[in-house]
Amino acid sequence: MTETWPATAPGVLRLPSGRLIRGRGLRRPLPDGARPTYAVYLLGKQPPQVSWEARWLRWPDFRLPARHSQAQALLAEAWARAENERVEVACEGGRGRTGTALACLAVLDGVAPDQAVAYVRRHYDRRAVETPWQRRYVRRFTG
């Protein structure tokens, strides 16, 4: 079993269950400290190789995931693994796609779909989830 993120580490979102997931922007340098053990990268093109286990979810900037079923599966795996692993989700800037994915993870964790964006904005980044269709995606994620 791997340890999870420190709750005070940059970009770490604490879900109501206590799970800790790091969101970040890939344009910025990798933060100091422990590396992820599992990551989901939300990009329009394949991400660079990393030394930890990672999955790629095709998700163009300012848009939605190319395949909803793949998004559900990868985010469900990220949520499950965050119980005892260092999980991160990341896009280029760390706000729109990452915020949307974090809000979907909050829904999986029990936050009401119509309150998940506000939860992520309050606990991760006040500008997370950038477009109306990303907000709508969160509301309909499990439906």
Output the pTM of the full model.
0.97
Q: Quick check: 89 and 78 in contact, CB under 8 A?
A: yes
What is the model's pLDDT at position 1?
57
Pairing of strands 12-14, 20-25: antiparallel
> Largest Cα–Cα distance in the chain?
39
CATH architecture, domain 12-140: Alpha-Beta Complex (3.90)
What is the model's pLDDT at position 101?
98
List pLDDT tens digits, range 74-118. Answer: 999 999 999 999 999 999 999 999 999 999 999 999 999 999 999
List pLDDT tens digits, range 4-56. Answer: 999 999 999 999 999 999 999 999 999 999 999 999 999 999 998 999 999 99
What is the model's pLDDT at position 143?
77
What is the model's pLDDT at position 52?
97
